[in-house]
Structure 1
Amino acid sequence: MNAPFKPTSEAAATFVRRHIGPSPRDVDAMLQTVGATSLAALMGETLPSSIRQKAPLDLGRALSETEALAHMNELAAQNQVFTSLIGQGYSGTILPAVIQRNILENPAWYTAYTPYQPEISQGRLEALFNFQTMICDLTGLDVANASLLDEATAAAEAMALAERHSQVKAKAFFVDHEVHPQTLAVLRTRAEPLGWSLIVGDPLTDLDKADVLGALLQYPGTSGAVRDLRPAITSLRAKGALAIVAADLLALTVLASPGELGADIAIGSAQRFGVPMGYGGPHAAYMAVRDALKRSLPGRLVGLSVDSRGMAAYRLALQTREQHIRREKATSNICTAQVLLAVIASMYAVYHGPEGLNYIARNVHRRAAVLAAGLRKLGFAPTSEAFFDTLTVAVGAKQGEIVARAFAEKINLRMGDGTLGIAVDETTTSETVEAVWRAFGGTLAYADVETGAREALPAELKRTTAFLTHPVFHAHRSETELLRYMRKLSDRDLALDRAMIPLGSCTMKLNATTEMVPLTWPAFGSLHPFAPADQAKGYHVLFARLEKWLCDITGYDAVSLQPNSGAQGEYAGLLAIRGYHAARGEDHRRICLIPSSAHGTNPASAAMVGMDVVVVACDARGDVDVNDLRAKAEKHSADLAAVMITYPSTHGVFEEHISEICDVVHQHGGQVYLDGANLNAQVGLSRPGDYGADVSHLNLHKTFCIPHGGGGPGMGPIGVLAHLAPYLPGHPATNGGTPHPVGPVSAAPFGSASILTISYIYILMMGGEGLTRATEIAILNANYIAARLQAHFPVLYRNAKGRVAHECIIDPRPLKMSAGVTVDDIAKRLIDYGFHAPTMSFPVPGTLMIEPTESESKAELDRFCDAMIAIRQEIAEIESGRFKVEASPLRNAPHTVHDIADDGWNRAYTRAEGCFPDGVSRSDKYWSPVGRVDNVYGDRNLVCSCPPLSDYAEAAE
């Protein structure tokens, strides 16, 4: 590993000062407001002394921004960017520069939050609506979600969906032997805890005699073979089982869709629609289903509704499906999507349109056909006569010499048992094809071979149906038009580049520009996840150092970087606990204790690993009821597997009894899973591994600055103590063929590897002292807001010394009695003041949870507090009888330009009061593009993809 730079302390401190919002003078003023003599004193009043970190956090000297980028350049230089023709679900692609600059590199898109407030999310919701339409069109199915994490986990979600809906009672699932190996490995991980068995075989010969609840079929197969899957699908449907097709989206522009073949579900990856491989991610997976399955579709679904004026408005639909509501009855723990990547993929389709995508696909296939023709001349006939872009050839003992020559050409091929796979893609040139021929021992000229090459798409499987017929995929072909379209959509959204997003539990902090810069460098973005490890030495230096830093920060002994979301991290952590118990002959331990205040993913994750959830009560202060915990641990002592606890609590308080809770669970043979969602209150001050926790997932998209991207990407690595380290997730690409106690939870060995660069460079520039200061300021900011709002909106939970942690819950519930005002009214009125609402009704229904983070300045905190106080005054006017709640600015919020232009204005308050409340700048005001969205209408009249072109024609007549 390279020795770290040794910067001047002043240069390094500059970044810390710019990351942290309040100035030293502001800090002094805020301490006076909260009644603390110093930051150290405030920390002493906030954290129990028993858990305080004994030594300062030492991560080496922090780097300045310039030095950090120089260091990242050194790491990048250690990676070697070969032309990877490995395939296996990952392809080289060309991201149009206009999309790279204006989506991927644009904070208006990457700093946005999940679109739970639809009025201020119309831009990204429209982009996701386009994504869903694209998926429905290409797959030939009725409903698609707004993306999933990766193809392998999408396959696992589809298997679970099939298990719920299959008419077959058998708990066996059929997996095509042509499925990608990483997908099969993730399916094995998901199936085993639930007692489902997998049958792997040839669906065209082995499926008839298999008693299965469903099957996953790859189209085209991982070897490249294009097979007619209709007989297999017909056999499945006859059994009452579900047919799932994992399909290549680009291939579907020239091949019959899964829907046409009879599939119930289609899954896959949208990576090759403009998203860099990134050594494994992040990428947007997709899932589409027939209409009858839509209410069981995992993940998020964007639907079309209407606003208060009857205008069309997008929103997240059918949210009662989500784990936040269903908890341990949830069928999935997915609480996110890969929004930023789905947006990129949808814009790629908007940019190219159906003709452009078809051209790319035909060009890719032509390259593959010419490659095949040349290989035949050289005596290496492909194993399948029908293919799209991937060939497999038997090479026997010649494999080593061919691979060596390919390496000399800087080309990676896929190595099998006496076979080589070659997958061409959008970036493949005629020179690449000639280089492959040279690796196989020939000196052929592309132009000479091309004249005799024949197409390899089966006539009976050629696509004949139209796709992407909606005008959005035809109206923005020039760069000028696409640029304006993307700008128009971003202008409809409220993201962190405009204003504070005070969401509790979500830690919406600054994503500094320098942290984002290396992300799009080819040396990080263009690597295939299954390229030889010696081509990714820079990445592996980064992984090793990041893992060590995270261990130093948390007090754990080992870290896995594989989980590519917080929910995946929870799942992996519980699998580690399960594996530990099983290895000790105690696999009967299946009881998981979970406080009633827990995030909905906690019980959902426990259910997915086969655990039974027992709920532990919380007391009046919001703390875990230790007596109830003790009683339930005693009752289930013989079968206790784990407790899942969030710390600081979801109520925003450092509970005094955390060590006692850990001790109780350990005394009864259980393990402590500490949810790391609130780690931003602990870094540098306390370490979970020191005070009793055994495992945590770490939300890098919260504490460590990976942008939320409108709802994704995220990363959720897990840290564990030494006794759990053997049960971290393995991966077939890194295990060397050796069985691992716990299989992979994600498609790629290091999850969404490319965005780990963001957290790495953040820690690099902050250093231990800077990270500790950030934590202290995050706690100060939360206590400052609590102090300023207390007289207007009571703070629901505090510790014994009157302090909150990094977030606080304010309680507007009494206002429903006094004025009829709901938490929704306050949230929507905040939009008029230019703010995203805090987290609504979680963990306590009817309340607001606020987390300011360390990167918001005192001025912005004051602007937010002033807005909340002004809203309280508006509520007082309802209480005093000036107007009824139905006629108030709160109930009619958010106000739009349609309101200010309304000639028929007859409300009880003036236009100025509604549209320009006190303190709002008229010149800089954010205008919500739609009025309040009707959620009930949207669910009753579900529309989740663009109407077909025929609807527009009919409307025009």
Structure 2
Amino acid sequence: MTRSFADRHIGPDRDELARILDVVGVGSLDELATAALPASILDGSGLEVLPPAATEHEVLDELAALAHSNTVATSMIGLGYYDTLTPPVLVRSLLENPAWYTAYTPYQPEISQGRLEALLNFQTMVSDLTGMEVANASMLDEATAAAEAMTLLRRAGKSTSARLLISDDLFPQTKTVLQTRAEPLGIEIVEADLSGGELPDGEYFGVLVQLPGASGRIVDWRPVIEAAHERGALVAVGADLLALTLITPPGEQGADVCFGTTQRFGVPMGFGGPHAGYLSVHAKHARQLPGRLVGVSVDADGHQAYRLALQTREQHIRREKATSNICTAQVLLAIVAAMYASYHGPDGLREIARSVHRRAAAIAAGLDGAVVHDNYFDTLLVRVPGGAEAVVAKAKSSGINLRLVDADHVGVACDEATTETHVAAVLESFGTALTSETSGPTTAVSVETRTSEFLTHPAFTSYHTETAMLRYLRRLSDKDIALDRSMIPLGSCTMKLNATAEMEAITWPGFARVHPYAPVEDAPGLLKVITDLENWLSAITGYDSVSLQPNAGSQGEYAGLLAIRRYHLDRGDAHRDTCLIPSSAHGTNAASATMVGMRVEVVKCRANGDVDLDDLRAKIADHAERLACIMITYPSTHGVYEHEVAELCALVHDAGGQVYVDGANLNALVGLARPGRFGGDVSHLNLHKTFCIPHGGGGPGVGPVAVRAHLAKYLPGDPLETDSHAVSAARYGSASILPITWAYIRMMGADGLRTATLTAIASANYIARRLNEYFPVLYTGENSMVAHECILDLRDITKRTGVTVDDVAKRLADYGFHAPTMSFPVAGTLMVEPTESENLAELDEFIRAMIAIRAEIDQVAAGVWPVDDNPLRGAPHTAACLVGEWDHPYSREIAVYPHGIDPSRGKVWPAVRRIDGAYGDRNLVCSCPPLDAY
């Protein structure tokens, strides 16, 4: 019998599923659906619009045809997106390697040292190139990094002004995203030509400029920075990192913040993403940085180790007090960029930059005075009165896309892939020719003003051969646990199979090498993928319209709440500014509401975890005239199907509010219920959870926003159009990874998707039933059912024995497992989500490990091992800790081969012992050793 893709995606086979269902106490998946979900929301319709399931090879053939239909033109459009030559060793050993792309966010640092070191390299690279002291572990893209820079300037400065001054030479998409973010916060944006070094009259809390500008012009921003500082304003510079290998970095010019993108460091354009944005600051503003920050700490044996510094400070955890809702990064792409810098080293990067500049200089020389700005790096603004469209059309006929600025000007951007042939074709488009005087290495390079060294750390001087880089990447990945090694049973984050057939297409040139602002006729295949996904996701969720623009779940939340806000404003209900949020909600919910200018009111939850409808009624009565919306997660953040969800939605609607259903747990609804039909007005969807885009160590993600018809006109639009309320730099966000979700839905079909959902629910209930007597399950719904995840309560165990969730989490590494989610949504608990992808053997192996750990806890309770020295408190155990003196009351064997571990699984050796978090928070940047230490 031929096995379908769904059979290979779903872990348990028919016999295993029967055993799981027997333990759960139901006879079939259909019976499970009836037992677990409220009858009022069960809805099997909608999926009939999906095409029938296809095989892996059929889907790859379809994707190949779609990729082939796209035109991979020579892109010379610029605006922050450039063709780049990804070293093949990075494509094969990193971008296409499941050891890297299936990893989770490094919240368990002892088994994430490889990713953390690579991210520290990224931070060091950004800090060095920008001339700043601290950089974070990446942002979502350049435009959102600029928006974060704007709010950072406001909270870090002393000015009371609400005005932000921006250069007229800022990238247009950045201007649009800034305006989107500024308006709900009451920030007024003033645009001006700042190239002369003077500021317009008035007070400003901050200034944003670009280096080089959108026109390609390089400006010495020191006079502007000095003038801004004299008025009490801080300055952020959007800087091109490749240009900064040659020109004076903003940090040395006195800038307070740098932002930008690392796309051209080996990450394909991908029709807009994903790419790693960056944000860097001087040390005095380090604690104002949003997002994630890797720092240096020490482990229990005093060895150097890396961790996420200020980990509990992540902005979204601060809920309504948050200044940002960032809950992800672009880790996989940040690592590609960092390894690109490592592979080329400082000298290699300089030579790439010089080559790019020489190509631009050759074009400028051939155009004989038509170039508007004399000082440029890679981009030229060319004056052609009345002839711009003809020039662009002529270049297009030669397979080159230039930028049509206006009727009189054309933009030409060179990059790493630009050749002399391209230079000649561009000049021909302008009606001139390449000559020996304007080509080749003899062209003068006058742009270089940088005198400071950069990338001197051994990470950037040691891996310039393929052998060295290959081994470095392998050495790092061996320090981590990703899905290619074992189950990652994280509640709330859904670490399911990322199938090879889904991943294969993302590096194909037809998807990867298309500029996001290329002519629409260049991308019919990409647009077909996008249109299909919009339609399929609408059908799956029961909503009427979908935007794929948000490039993270947090941005999908923001876009959805922004749509609600604009809806109320259009109806003359500006007073509706209160957002009700249950106490159990994701931290991003309250942070996103704050960012769109809403007031957050918390609704209580009952003892069983459900939203307290009596408190909801009271809150609605208190805020009836001001009620804008409620944000709920369904199934709940507690992992339960609340049976009163339809009533909850009706109460809010009757009071004039909208219902936002957080789509974080949509993987427990697909094929069973549709939020757009049981009361939701808007949801964001996490494609990196429900629809198989891999987490990549903490990004990329895609967070589409889905709405009912009355909110459709408020979805984000084209970022190149002003007042489009765009939330990302590209119209379709991280478009190059959308084929992953397209392939998943296409291969699963309606029946496969429904079966996957029910299998995930069955597996979660199986774990809950098997572990309840050892670690009580905190919340269940009717019929004692959980949804797709369950919360194990360790609070009484901790009270009686002193063993904490941290101890259990670290001990699981000795058993070869990544820990479940710790202390969310309830402190002192573990949230477990098995997903549908794990077979019964893996579920049972995890259960055996947890039962064995409970037996170890009982040994502590019985006094056999002291609370402060036992296998749990000492975990995780490294190979190195076994060498030399051993003074613990438990044996070396129990430390590293505990009872219940299956030796045939292959021993996971954590790279470091337990890490000192407080030490790491005091050391936010790498203490780089001197070169002579190596």
Map 1:723-872 → 2, pairs under 5 A: 723-733=710-720, 739-740=723-724, 743-872=725-854
* AA at the equivalent of 1:570: E
Tell me, yes or no, if the aligned pair for 2:392 and 2:403 is still in contact at 8 Å: no
What secondary structure, in the 3-state scheme, does the structure 1 residue paired with 2:208 have? Answer: strand
Which residue is 2:156 aligned to?
A: 165
Question: C-alpha offsets along residues 922-951 of structure 1, whole Å, 9 cap, x if unaligned?
Answer: 4610000100000011113x14235263xx
- Shift in Å, 1:773: 0.4
Task: Say whether residues 1:142 and 2:133 are aligned partners.
Answer: yes
Distance 1:448 1:887, change over 3 A: closer
What secondary structure, in the 3-state scheme, does the structure 2 residue paired with 1:422 have? Answer: strand
Tell me, yes or no, if the aligned pair for 1:129 and 1:946 is still in contact at 8 Å: no
Question: C-alpha offsets along residues 285-330 of structure 1, whole Å, 9 cap, x if unaligned?
Answer: 0110011110010110000000000000000001243134311101
Which residue is 2:242 aligned to?
A: 250
Which residue is 1:53 aligned to?
A: 43
Tell me, yes or no, if the aligned pair for 2:36 and 2:782 is still in contact at 8 Å: no
Which residue is 1:360 aligned to?
A: 352
- Shift in Å, 1:210: 3.3
Separation in structure 1 between the aligned mates of residue 822 and residue 312 of structure 2, nearest angstrom: 16
- Shift in Å, 1:399: 1.5
Map 1:396-545 → 2, pairs under 5 A: 396-417=385-406, 418-445=408-435, 449-450=439-440, 453-457=443-447, 462-545=449-532
Separation in structure 2 between the aligned mates of residue 56 and residue 781 of structure 1, nearest angstrom: 25
Which residue is 1:603 aligned to?
A: 590
- Specify which of 542, 556, 566 is matched with residue 553 of structure 2: 566
Which residue is 1:394 aligned to?
A: 383
Distance 1:452 1:362, change over 3 A: closer
Separation in structure 1 between the aligned mates of residue 794 and residue 161 of structure 2, nearest angstrom: 50
Task: Say whether residues 1:655 and 2:642 are aligned partners.
Answer: yes
Question: C-alpha offsets along residues 322-374 of structure 1, whole Å, 9 cap, x if unaligned?
Answer: 13431110110001110000000000011000000001001111111111101
Separation in structure 1 between the aligned mates of residue 490 and residue 170 of structure 2, nearest angstrom: 40
Which residue is 2:251 aligned to?
A: 259
* AA at the equivalent of 2:318: R
Which residue is 1:240 aligned to?
A: 232
What secondary structure, in the 3-state scheme, does the structure 2 residue paired with 1:576 have? Answer: helix
* AA at the equivalent of 1:586: D
Question: C-alpha offsets along residues 408-456 of structure 1, whole Å, 9 cap, x if unaligned?
Answer: 1010001112210000000000000000011111233456644874434
Separation in structure 2 between the aligned mates of residue 531 and residue 946 of structure 1, nearest angstrom: 43
Tell me, yes or no, if the aligned pair for 1:236 and 1:242 is still in contact at 8 Å: yes
Separation in structure 1 between the aligned mates of residue 635 and residue 397 of structure 2, nearest angstrom: 54
* AA at the equivalent of 1:401: A
Separation in structure 1 between the aligned mates of residue 176 and residue 674 of structure 2, nearest angstrom: 33
Which residue is 1:126 aligned to?
A: 117
- Specify which of 224, 227, 249 is matched with residue 219 of structure 2: 227
Between stretches 492-501 and 448-457, larger displacement belongs to 448-457
Which residue is 1:626 aligned to?
A: 613
* AA at the equivalent of 1:366: R
Task: Say whether residues 1:17 and 2:17 are aligned partners.
Answer: no
Tell me, yes or no, if the aligned pair for 2:719 and 2:729 is still in contact at 8 Å: no
What secondary structure, in the 3-state scheme, does the structure 2 residue paired with 1:421 have? Answer: strand
- Specify which of 301, 311, 320 is matched with residue 319 of structure 1: 311
Separation in structure 2 between the aligned mates of residue 717 and residue 441 of structure 1, nearest angstrom: 45
Alignment root-mean-square deviation, CA? 1.3
- Specify which of 62, 65, 79 is matched with residue 74 of structure 1: 65
- Shift in Å, 1:616: 0.2
- Shift in Å, 1:800: 2.0
- Specify which of 143, 147, 172 is matched with residue 152 of structure 1: 143
Separation in structure 2 between the aligned mates of residue 603 and residue 552 of structure 1, nearest angstrom: 28
Which residue is 1:4 aligned to?
A: none
Which residue is 2:284 aligned to?
A: 292
Question: C-alpha offsets along residues 885-921 of structure 1, whole Å, 9 cap, x if unaligned?
Answer: 21210000001102222x3112111111111012324
Separation in structure 1 between the aligned mates of residue 889 and residue 149 of structure 2, nearest angstrom: 52
What secondary structure, in the 3-state scheme, does the structure 1 residue paired with 2:777 have? Answer: coil
- Shift in Å, 1:203: 1.9
What secondary structure, in the 3-state scheme, does the structure 2 residue paired with 1:256 have? Answer: coil
What secondary structure, in the 3-state scheme, does the structure 1 residue paired with 2:785 have? Answer: coil
- Shift in Å, 1:397: 1.3
Separation in structure 2 between the aligned mates of residue 468 and residue 453 of structure 1, nearest angstrom: 27
Tell me, yes or no, if the aligned pair for 2:293 and 2:924 is still in contact at 8 Å: no
Task: Say whether residues 1:889 and 2:871 are aligned partners.
Answer: yes
Which residue is 1:3 aligned to?
A: none
Separation in structure 2 between the aligned mates of residue 273 and residue 56 of structure 1, nearest angstrom: 43
Distance 1:813 1:448, change over 3 A: closer
What secondary structure, in the 3-state scheme, does the structure 1 residue paired with 2:47 have? Answer: coil
Which residue is 1:875 aligned to?
A: 857
What secondary structure, in the 3-state scheme, does the structure 1 residue paired with 2:472 have? Answer: helix
* AA at the equivalent of 1:574: L
Which residue is 1:920 aligned to?
A: 901
What secondary structure, in the 3-state scheme, does the structure 2 residue paired with 1:125 have? Answer: helix
Separation in structure 1 between the aligned mates of residue 519 and residue 107 of structure 2, nearest angstrom: 41
* AA at the equivalent of 2:887: N
Question: C-alpha offsets along residues 528-576 of structure 1, whole Å, 9 cap, x if unaligned?
Answer: 0000011001111111111000000000000000000000000000000
- Specify which of 931, 939, 944 is matched with residue 925 of structure 2: 944
- Shift in Å, 1:677: 0.2
Task: Say whether residues 1:277 and 2:277 are aligned partners.
Answer: no
What secondary structure, in the 3-state scheme, does the structure 2 residue paired with 1:99 have? Answer: helix
Which residue is 1:85 aligned to?
A: 76
Separation in structure 2 between the aligned mates of residue 203 and residue 262 of structure 1, nearest angstrom: 16
Separation in structure 1 between the aligned mates of residue 814 and residue 410 of structure 2, nearest angstrom: 60
- Shift in Å, 1:405: 1.0
Tell me, yes or no, if the aligned pair for 2:167 and 2:208 is still in contact at 8 Å: yes
* AA at the equivalent of 1:254: L
Which residue is 1:117 aligned to?
A: 108
Tell me, yes or no, if the aligned pair for 1:308 and 1:931 is still in contact at 8 Å: yes
- Specify which of 666, 675, 690 is matched with residue 703 of structure 1: 690
* AA at the equivalent of 1:368: A
Task: Say whether residues 1:672 and 2:659 are aligned partners.
Answer: yes
* AA at the equivalent of 1:31: L
Tell me, yes or no, if the aligned pair for 1:278 and 1:752 is still in contact at 8 Å: yes
Runs of 5+ consecutive residues of structure 1 not aligned to the other structure:
1-9
Which residue is 2:210 aligned to?
A: 218
What secondary structure, in the 3-state scheme, does the structure 1 residue paired with 2:229 have? Answer: helix
Separation in structure 1 between the aligned mates of residue 202 and residue 77 of structure 2, nearest angstrom: 32
How many residues end up aligned between the 2 structures?
930
Task: Say whether residues 1:188 and 2:179 are aligned partners.
Answer: yes
* AA at the equivalent of 2:126: I
Separation in structure 1 between the aligned mates of residue 29 and residue 19 of structure 2, nearest angstrom: 12
* AA at the equivalent of 2:372: T
Separation in structure 2 between the aligned mates of residue 872 and residue 321 of structure 1, nearest angstrom: 31
So what's the TM-score if we normalise by structure 1?
A: 0.96
- Shift in Å, 1:238: 1.0
What secondary structure, in the 3-state scheme, does the structure 1 residue paired with 2:783 have? Answer: coil
Question: C-alpha offsets along residues 673-708 of structure 1, whole Å, 9 cap, x if unaligned?
Answer: 000000000000000011000000000000000000
Tell me, yes or no, if the aligned pair for 1:369 and 1:456 is still in contact at 8 Å: no
Which residue is 1:585 aligned to?
A: 572
What secondary structure, in the 3-state scheme, does the structure 2 residue paired with 1:636 have? Answer: helix
Task: Say whether residues 1:104 and 2:91 are aligned partners.
Answer: no
* AA at the equivalent of 2:493: C
Runs of 5+ consecutive residues of structure 2 not aligned to the other structure:
none
Which residue is 2:542 aligned to?
A: 555
Which residue is 1:645 aligned to?
A: 632
* AA at the equivalent of 2:264: R
Distance 1:439 1:204, change over 3 A: closer
Separation in structure 2 between the aligned mates of residue 868 and residue 708 of structure 1, nearest angstrom: 25
What secondary structure, in the 3-state scheme, does the structure 2 residue paired with 1:198 have? Answer: strand
